[in-house]
Amino acid sequence: MSEEIKSFQCPYCGVGCGLFINEKGKIKGDFEHPANRGDICKKPLYLPKVFETGRIEKPLYRENKKDNFKKISWEEAYEILAKKFSSLSPDEVYFYLSGQLLTEDIYVANKLVKGFLKTNNIDANSRLCMATAVTAYKMAFGSDGPPCTYEDIDDADTFLFIGSNAAIAHPVLFKRVLNRKRKTENALIITVDPVETETAKKSDVYIQIRAGTDTVFLNSVLYLLHKRGELDYEFIEKYTEGFEEALKEAEKYPPEVAKEICGVDEEDIQIVADAFAKSKKLVSFWCQGLNQSVNGTMKNLALINLHLATGRLNERGCPFSLTGQPNAMGGREMGYLTNGLPGYRDVRNEEERKFMEEFWNTQGIKDTPGPTITEAIDLILQDRIKLLWVVCTNPVISLPKVNKVKEALEKVFLVVQDAYFNDTVKYANLVLPAAQLGEKEGVMTGSDRTITLCKKFRKPYGESKPDWQIFTEFARKLGFEKAFPYKNNREIFEELKKATKGRLCDISDFTYEKLPKRWGKRWLYEELKFPTPSGRARFHPAVFEVANEEEGEFILLTGRLKNQWHTMTRTGKSPELLKGEIPPFVLMNPEDAQELGIEEGQEVELISKYGSAVRVVRFENIAKKHLFAPFGYPEEFGDLTNTLLSDRVDPYSKEPDLKYVKVSVRPLTCSSASERLSHTSLSCSSPDGESSREA
Ligand code: SF4
Digit-coded pLDDT (tens) for 480-514 = 999 999 999 999 999 999 999 999 999 999 999 99
- For 180-196, give one letter per residue: b (16+ CB within 10 A) or e: bbeeeeebbbbbbbbbb
Mean pLDDT computed over 537-563: 95
* Residue-level pLDDT at 23: 85
* Residue-level pLDDT at 548: 87
- CA 257–ligand 1 middle distance (angstroms): 40
Structural domain containing residue 650 = 554-677
* Domain CATH code at residue 636: 2.40.40.20
Mutate to test the pocket of ligand 1, among 28, 41, 571 (most ligand atoms within 8 A of CB): 41
Q: Are residues 466 and 378 in the same domain?
A: yes
* Residue-level pLDDT at 690: 29
Q: Is 10 in the pocket of ligand 1 (CB under 6 A)?
A: yes
Task: Kindly report the protein residue whose alpha carbon is nearest to atom 5 of ligand 1.
Answer: 172
Q: What is the mean pLDDT of the chain?
A: 94
Digit-coded pLDDT (tens) for 130-148 = 999 999 999 999 998 899 9
- Type of residue numbered 463: E
Asked if the structure places residue 103 within a domain, the reply is: yes
Boundary residue ending a domain (300, 321, 342): 321
Q: Are residues 350 and 386 in the same domain?
A: yes
Q: How confident is the model at residue 276 (pLDDT cuts 50, 70, 90)?
A: very high
* Residue-level pLDDT at 679: 40
* Residue-level pLDDT at 207: 98
Asked if the structure places residue 530 within a domain, the reply is: no
* Domain CATH code at residue 180: 3.40.228.10
Q: Which atom of ligand 1 is nearest to the CA of 9?
A: 7
* Residue-level pLDDT at 684: 36
* Residue-level pLDDT at 688: 34
Asked if the structure places residue 548 within a domain, the reply is: no
Nearest alpha-carbon partner for 568 in 508, 632, 495: 632
Q: Where are the alpha helices (DSSP H) in 30-124?
A: 74-86, 103-110
Query: Between residues 674 and 439, which one has the greater pLDDT?
Result: 439
Asked if the structure places residue 543 within a domain, the reply is: no
Q: Are residues 96 and 35 in the same domain?
A: no
- CA 13–ligand 1 middle distance (angstroms): 5
* Residue-level pLDDT at 324: 86
In this predicted structure, the answer to whether residue 692 has a pLDDT above a threshold of 90 is no
* Residue-level pLDDT at 340: 97
Number of domains in the chain: 4
In this predicted structure, the answer to whether residue 691 has a pLDDT above a threshold of 60 is no
In this predicted structure, the answer to whether residue 682 has a pLDDT above a threshold of 60 is no
Instruction: Tell me the pairing of strands 340-341 and 345-346.
Output: antiparallel
* Residue-level pLDDT at 664: 98
Q: Check: CB of residue 8 under 8 Å from CB of residue 452.
A: yes
Asked if the structure places residue 524 within a domain, the reply is: no
* Residue-level pLDDT at 128: 96
pTM of the model: 0.95
Mean pLDDT computed over 315-326: 95
Percent of the chain clearing pLDDT 70 (strictly above): 96
Digit-coded pLDDT (tens) for 29-68 = 999 999 999 999 999 999 999 999 999 999 999 999 999 9
Q: Are residues 84 and 208 in the same domain?
A: no
Mean pLDDT computed over 184-209: 97
* Residue-level pLDDT at 4: 52
* Domain CATH code at residue 121: 3.40.50.740
Least confident of 365-379, 493-507, 527-541, 556-570: 556-570
Mean pLDDT computed over 264-271: 98
* Residue-level pLDDT at 671: 55
Q: How confident is the model at residue 382 (pLDDT cuts 50, 70, 90)?
A: very high
Q: Are residues 347 and 376 in the same domain?
A: yes
Q: Which atom of ligand 1 is nearest to the CA of 41?
A: 3
Asked if the structure places residue 685 within a domain, the reply is: no
Q: Which atom of ligand 1 is nearest to the CA of 42?
A: 3
Q: Are residues 471 and 333 in the same domain?
A: yes
**Measured CA angle at 262 (ends 256, 266), to 5 deg:** 35
Half-sphere exposure in the Cβ direction for 511 (13 Å, CA):
2
Q: Which atom of ligand 1 is nearest to the CA of 40?
A: 6
